[in-house]
Amino acid sequence: MASACEHLSSIRKVKPNTKGCEECLKTGDTWVHLRMCLTCGHVGCCDSSKNKHATKHFHATKHPIIQSIEPGEDWKWCYVDNAVLG
């Protein structure tokens, strides 16, 4: 677990923008797991998905922290620190 992530201040009280990966829904594609940006609420597919939209969103926006929105999962990931947050 990361104990000194300096990006926690980027976390906002957000809700998912969509019920699936935003980009995959637009193109009719599929995804494996969903991740939500904790800065803006963007929902993207995980790196196990062929399109990796959550990571692409980070590269485009530099929003550092995502959260799994899969049922039963309660973790966050900081792209900048390359660390799981509890």
Q: Which domains does the chain have, with CATH numbers?
A: 10-69 (3.30.40.10)
- What was the pLDDT predicted at 4? 72
Ramachandran class of 53: left when φ > 0, alpha when ψ lies in -120 to 50, beta otherwise: alpha
**Digit-coded pLDDT (tens) for 30-77:** 999 999 999 999 999 999 999 999 999 999 999 999 999 999 999 999
- What was the pLDDT predicted at 86? 74
- What was the pLDDT predicted at 65? 98
- What was the pLDDT predicted at 2? 41
Spatial contact of 75 and 83, defined as CB atoms under 8 Å apart: no
**Digit-coded pLDDT (tens) for 1-16:** 445 789 999 999 999 9
